[in-house]
A and B are shown apart, each in its own frame.
Chain A
Amino acid sequence: AQSVSQHNHHVILSEAASLELGCNYSYGGTVNLFWYVQYPGQHLQLLLKYFSGDPLVKGIKGFEAEFIKSKFSFNLRKPSVQWSDTAEYFCAVNGHNAGKSTFGDGTTLTVKP
C-alpha cells in the first residue's frame, strides 16, 4: 500500500528564512508527486508536480522540489519565505496508472513578519 510521510507537523520561521519541508513516500512502482498548499480560508491548490524528466521542479511563488528516487523523497524548498507563505502544505503521490492520490498529514507553516 502506498503511504506518504511528512516529517514536520508545524514549522515556524521568520520572514526571509529558508524553508525545507520533508516528504517521503512508499510506493511499489513509478510515481507522480505533488505538493499542494492550503492558505487560510482557501481551497487546496497545486503548488508543483513531478511526472518525469528533470527531478528538480519549480512551482508557483518561488517554490521548488527535488525528487530523489533513491531516497523516495520529494522535499519542498524555498530560499526566502514571506509572511504570505503561511499555510498548510501537503505532499501527495499517485501511481502512473492510478487515479487516486495518497496524501501526507500536512505541515503547517507559520511565517512571522
Chain B
Amino acid sequence: GAGVSQSPRYKVAKRGQDVALRCDPISGHVSLFWYQQALGQGPEFLTYFQNEAQLDKSGLPSDRFFAERPEGSVSTLKIQRTQQEDSAVYLCASSPRPIYEQYFGPGTRLTVT
C-alpha cells in the first residue's frame, strides 16, 4: 500500500518568507509526528497529533512554527518568517497507535537563503 508522502520534496525559501510543508500519512494511522533533522544528526521531535488533536508540541523551536491536522489525516507544518537556522530536513511519520513503530516519509529538505 501507499506509504507516507510529503510535499514538496525540496523547498528553497528566502529569509523571511513563510513556508508550508505537507504530510499525507498512511491511511488509518491515528498518530502523526513531525521531526526536524539537521545534517549529521538524528531526527529531533517537533510535534505529535493523535487524530486531529495536537497532544505534544514541546519540540517546536519557536512560535514561528505551527502545525495542524484539522481532519485527522493530512497535516501541514508551517514556518513563518523563515530563518537560516530553519534549514533542515523535515520528516513526517505516522503510526497506527501512539507507541508503535513509526513509518517515515521521504522528508522535505528546506533551504533558507
**Interface residues, chain A, with chain B CB atoms under 8 Å away:** 4, 32, 34, 36, 43-46, 49, 51, 90, 92, 94-106
Contact = CB atoms under 8 A, between A and B. Distances in A.
B50 A99 contact: yes
Nearest to B107: A43
Contacts of A32: 99
Contacts, number: 59
Main secondary structure of the interface of A (DSSP, over half): strand
Given A43-B3, A99-B48, A100-B59, A105 B99 contact: no
A106 to B, nearest CB: 5
A6 B41 CA distance: 11
A99 B3 contact: no
B56 A100 contact: yes
Nearest to A41: B106
Given A43-B3, A90-B43, A99 B98 contact: yes
